[in-house]
Structure formats: C-alpha cells, structure tokens
C-alpha cells in the first residue's frame, strides 16, 4: 500500500502500511480470515500468568475467561472485556495476552467474552452473550458490583456501548464506566469519514459494509445493535472514547461522544492524529504507547479513583 497517499500518517506507522497489499482481504471469506488470524496468535503464556487465576466458565450460550489477581484480599473492581473483529472474527484466545496483561496491570477481575460470531449467529446473539457476561461478572465472588466497567475495541466498542444501554434500560448491573476504543456505532455508514475512507489501511468502508451485512443478517438495526441510532443517551455511565484520524469509523465515534456530552454524560475523548484502525499492531510506535498508557490511566481512575 502506498503510504504517501496518507500525508498525515504517523512516521512510526509508515513501514507497516507499506507492507500491506492494496487489495487487503475483507470479510468475503470469513473462515479463511479466522484461520489466518489463528496463525498470528503467539503460543506463549502471558508473562503475568503466575500472578493471575485464569478460569473459563460457561455463561449461557457463550464462554467467559476470567482473570483474577492472586493473593489479593477483598472485593476488586470488575472489567468486562469485549474483543473486536467486525462481529465475525476473534475470540478469547486472540485476546489472551492483552487481557491477561490488562488484568494484571490494573489489578482487577477481568472477564473476556467469547461471544457468538456472525454470520453463524447474527444480532442479537453476540450482544446477548456480552450482557449475560456482565451479569455473571457482577455476581462473581470477589467482585465489587459497584465498580464494574465495560471496555471494547472496534466491533467490541459497539457491543460495549450496547451493553451499557441494555444495563441502563433493563435496570441491570450498575456499569460505572464505558471505554469505547475506535468503536463501530452506526450501520448507516453516512459520516464524512465513512464516505471518504474507501481504501484506508486495515479497515475501510467496503469492509464496514460487509461487517454490518453479516452481523445484522437482513435484520434492521436498532439502537442496541447500532448505538448511534439511540435517541436518548441520558443516564449512561461516563465514557472514554478513542478515535483514529485515518479510520472510516472516526466520525461516528466523535459524534457519539459529543451526543453523550450533550445528554449530560461525562466524556473523555481522544482523537489520535496520524493513526488508522489497527495501528496497535505497531506497539513500539510512540503514538500507540500513548494510547496504551492512557487506556490504563483512564480505566484505573474510573475503577479506583484518583491514585
């Protein structure tokens, strides 16, 4: 891919973009995409494994991997962790290293959801699984149910926002914070960035179109599938929203954050310049390190207060 087409691209990300093919595969062959991802998963155990109790539990039609710091007395905050992947890809294994690291770094009970994927399981299956995982986390021994946050990246951001909406509307567990990283939020695909970015690195409008098609399976989206469609955002938990400059999802994240603010919800919004959807694949880049450090700082303050 010609990195020169993106003049604002962060210099630390240029080499990765140049390695990408111009015709990066989308979601036309989901099984092949899943198989490709599995070849990229490190086989090593997390560095923090000896400091964590890690268990897999069945929750309804899904599975949840729970990470808890060892030898810590008292109730800990809980974090519901929802992976991305266009609603079709990813699982707890692809997120194992990241989830273990975050649980250890924060010192919380983290529940990573292995939710059902499209196209085999269309909406609302995945969201139902994530909400069931939230309820399970809130009832887990050793979890302080007044300090539970949700965090999701990309399609996981859509599911995290949907879980926060469901918890509000169903009177469910009291989510104290929602972290929405480069979130998918609007199936209408009509924002300026979504219209403009048809060939951006790793995620572009054609992929977004296919992702929504597979997730909805012909069903019309409601405000829980596509949170941007929700008219009333009042009463939702405080939010942290991250967007990337060269991401077709950029503007729907910005708009959602502004609408939350207008509804009286406290929001921290960070639009990272020179980045694209999936920039985290370059963990050594200074801007990616800032993203990671800020996420930890924000979640720590949300779950533990100022410390």
Active site residues: 154, 247, 277
Write b or e for each residue in 201-211: b if 16 or more Cβ atoms lie within 10 A of its Cβ, otherwise e.
bbbbbebbbbb
| Structure-block tokens of residue 297 | 């700082």
| DSSP structure class, residue 20 | S
The Cα 155–Cα 61 span in angstroms is 19
Write b or e for each residue in 258-276: b if 16 or more Cβ atoms lie within 10 A of its Cβ, otherwise e.
ebbeeeebebebbebebbb
Where does 107-204 have alpha helices with state H?
125-139, 155-170, 192-196
For helices 96-106 and 286-304, what crossing angle results, to 10°? Answer: 50
Q: Which has the closest alpha carbon to 139: 235, 214, 66?
A: 66
């Amino acid at each position: 891919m010609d990195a020169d087409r993106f003049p604002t691209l962060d210099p630390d990300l240029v080499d990765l973009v140049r390695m990408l093919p111009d015709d990066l595969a989308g979601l036309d062959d989901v099984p092949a995409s899943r198989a490709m991802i599995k070849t990229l998963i490190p086989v090593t155990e997390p560095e923090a494994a000896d400091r964590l109790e890690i268990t897999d539990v069945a929750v309804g039609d899904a599975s949840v991997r729970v990470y808890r710091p060892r030898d810590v007395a008292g109730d800990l905050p809980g974090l519901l962790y929802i992976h991305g992947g266009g609603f079709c890809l990813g699982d707890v294994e692809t997120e194992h290293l990241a989830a273990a690291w975050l649980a250890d770094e924060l010192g919380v009970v983290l529940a990573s959801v292995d939710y059902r994927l499209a196209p085999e399981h269309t909406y609302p299956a995945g969201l139902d699984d994530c909400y069931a995982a939230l309820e399970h986390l809130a009832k887990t021994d050793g979890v302080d149910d007044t300090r539970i946050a949700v965090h999701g990246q990309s399609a996981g951001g859509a599911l995290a926002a949907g879980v926060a909406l469901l918890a509000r509307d169903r009177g469910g567990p009291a989510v104290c914070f929602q972290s929405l990283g480069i979130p998918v939020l609007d199936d209408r695909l009509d924002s300026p960035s979504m219209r403009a970015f048809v060939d951006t690195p790793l995620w572009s409008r054609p992929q977004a179109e296919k992702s929504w098609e597979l997730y909805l399976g012909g069903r019309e989206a409601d405000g829980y599938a596509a949170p941007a469609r929700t008219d009333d955002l009042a009463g939702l938990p405080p939010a942290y929203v991250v967007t990337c400059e060269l991401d077709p999802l950029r503007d729907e994240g910005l708009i959602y954050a502004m609408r939350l603010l207008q509804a009286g919800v406290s929001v921290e919004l960070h639009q990272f310049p020179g980045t694209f959807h999936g920039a985290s694949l370059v963990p050594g880049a200074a801007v990616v390190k800032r993203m990671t450090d800020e996420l930890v700082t924000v979640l720590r303050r949300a779950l533990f207060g100022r410390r």
